[in-house]
Amino acid sequence: MKTLAELQAIKDKMQGKVSLREGSGEKRVVVGMATCGIAAGARPVLNAFVEQVNEQGLAGSVTVTQTGCIGICQYEPVVEVFEAGQEKVTYVKMTADKVARVVEEHLKGGTPVAEFTIGNYKA
């Protein structure tokens, strides 16, 4: 290594890999991963979130994590998005394909994707 640019390149490459440990994301995406969630296909959803959040360079502001059963097993896979000062948004019957819109419109754009939320299904 002979230049600062090379050092910076290593830093940029690695930063996404260690930022996970800081846990300081302003937004938290929580995927329900109990037996019901896994059976309904939560794993591809979780992985899609992790991949796309990183691809979009949101790793510093969004934390993707998992939780157990939240009690609405018929709506699994359930994904909740928490943000300080905002009401919790609950997405239901998620698929890996739906993830791209949530990342783009909600996590990046700030507007929840209303048609995927639980309110829409109950209505």
Partner 1 sequence: MIRAHVLICGGTGCTSSGSNAIQQAFAENIEKCGLTEEVKVVQTGCFGLCALGPVVIVHPDGTFYSRVEADDVKEIVSEHLLKGRIVERLVYNDTGAETPVDGNVSLNDTAFYKTQNRVVLRNCGVIDPESIDEYIAMDGYAALGKVLTEMTPDDVIKTITDSGLRGRGGGGFPTGRKWALTAPNKAPQKYVVCNADEGDPGAFMDRSVLEGDPHCLVEAMTIAGYAIGATQGFVYVRAEYPIAVARLQIAIDQAREYGLLGKNIFGSGFDFDLHIRLGAGAFVCGEETALMTSIEGNRGEPRPRPPYPAIKGLFGMPTVENNVETFANVPQIILRGAEWFASMGTEKSKGTKVFALGGKIKNTGLVEIPMGTTLREIIDDIGGGIPNGKNFKAAQTGGPSGGCIPASLIDTPVDYDNLTAIGCMMGSGGLIVMDEDTCMVDMAKFFLEFTVDESCGKCTPCRVGTKRLLEKLDKITQGKGTLEDIDELEALCYYIKENSLCGLGQTAPNPVLSTLKFFRDEYVAHVVDKKCPAGVCKDLLTYVIDQDKCIGCGMCAKACPASAITRTEYVAPGHKLASFAIDADKCVKCGACVGTCKFKAISKQ
CA nearest to 31, candidates 93, 106, 105:
93
User: Residue 18 interacts with partner 1 (CB under 8 A)?
Assistant: yes
Indicate whether 56 belongs to the interface with partner 1 (CB under 8 A). no
Instruction: Compose the 21-50 pattern: x for residues touching partner 1 by CB under 8 A, - for all others.
Output: x-x-x-----xxxxx-xx-------xx--x
Report phi then psi at 97, rounded to 5: -70, -35
Whole-angstrom Cα distance, residue 36 to residue 77?
8
The Cα 119–Cα 106 span in angstroms is 16
Q: In this structure, are residues 36 and 69 in contact, taking their beta carbons and an 8 Å threshold?
A: yes
According to CB under 8 A, which one of 56, 66, 72, 73 is a site residue for partner 1?
A: 66
Q: Which residues bind partner 1 (CB under 8 A)?
A: 1-4, 7, 10-11, 13-15, 17-18, 20-21, 23, 25, 31-35, 37-38, 46-47, 50-51, 54, 63-68
